[in-house]
Structure 1
Amino acid sequence: MIHPSYVDLMKVVNKGVEEGEEPVISSRYSVVMATAKRARQIIAGDEPMVKVKDKQKPLSIAVDEMNQDTLRILTDEEKEEIQTEATENE
């Protein structure tokens, strides 16, 4: 069994969502895509946001980051807001 489970990771990511609002992630696919993207960033040279164990692989680091709530998945609205701000600052 994988620890933490997909359900546990989804709870961590969605913990700030109010009742009645759409969750940030609602499927295992979203968890897989987010952790894979972060693992690629770590491979490319980004610094891990958690303490790394000896010989820990990038995907395990990304899962730890998500589980410890240091990795944040943005909602579509937050992504649009960031893009708008970047465009305005240019």
Structure 2
Amino acid sequence: MLHPSYTDLMQVVNKDVEEGETKIVNSRYSIVLATSKRARQLIDGELPLVNAKNGEKPLSTAIEELNEGKLKIIAENAEEE
């Protein structure tokens, strides 16, 4: 089992969304996509935003960054504006 769970990560990402507004993340797919993109950035040499443990895989670091609120997911349509 993945710790934290997908639902926990979705709650962290959507915590600042007012009731009635569109959520930033609506599905597990969005969480997977965001963490995989961040893991690729870490593999390509970007520095982690959290204290990465020695030998920790980039995906685990990306999940920890998201869970601690260090990453912000921006909707694709918001990037175009």
Scaled by the length of structure 2, the TM-score of the pair is 0.94
Give the percent of matched residue pairs that are identical in Structure 1 and Structure 2: 56
Look up the match of 1:43: 43
Deviation beyond 6 Å, 4+ runs, structure 1: none
Look up the match of 2:8: 8
2: CA distance between counterparts of 1:76 and 1:54?
Answer: 33
1: CA distance between counterparts of 2:35 and 2:77?
Answer: 20
Aligned pairs, number:
81
Structure 2: give runs of 5+ residues left out of the alignment.
none
Task: Report the aligned-residue RMSD.
Answer: 1.0
**TM superposition shift of 1:76:** 3.7
**TM superposition shift of 1:64:** 0.2
* AA at the equivalent of 1:58: P
Larger Rg: 1
* AA at the equivalent of 1:72: K
Question: Which gives a bigger RCO, structure 1 or 2 (Cα 8 Å, sep 6+)?
Answer: 2
Give CA-to-partner distance per residue, 1:35-55, whole Å, 9 cap, x none.
000000000000000001110
2: CA distance between counterparts of 1:14 and 1:58?
Answer: 23
**TM superposition shift of 1:77:** 5.0
Greater helix content: 1
Structure 1: give runs of 5+ residues left out of the alignment.
82-90
Look up the match of 1:20: 20
Write out aligned runs for 1:31-70 (5 A): 31-70=31-70
Give CA-to-partner distance per residue, 1:4-56, whole Å, 9 cap, x none.
00000000000000000110000000000000000000000000000011100
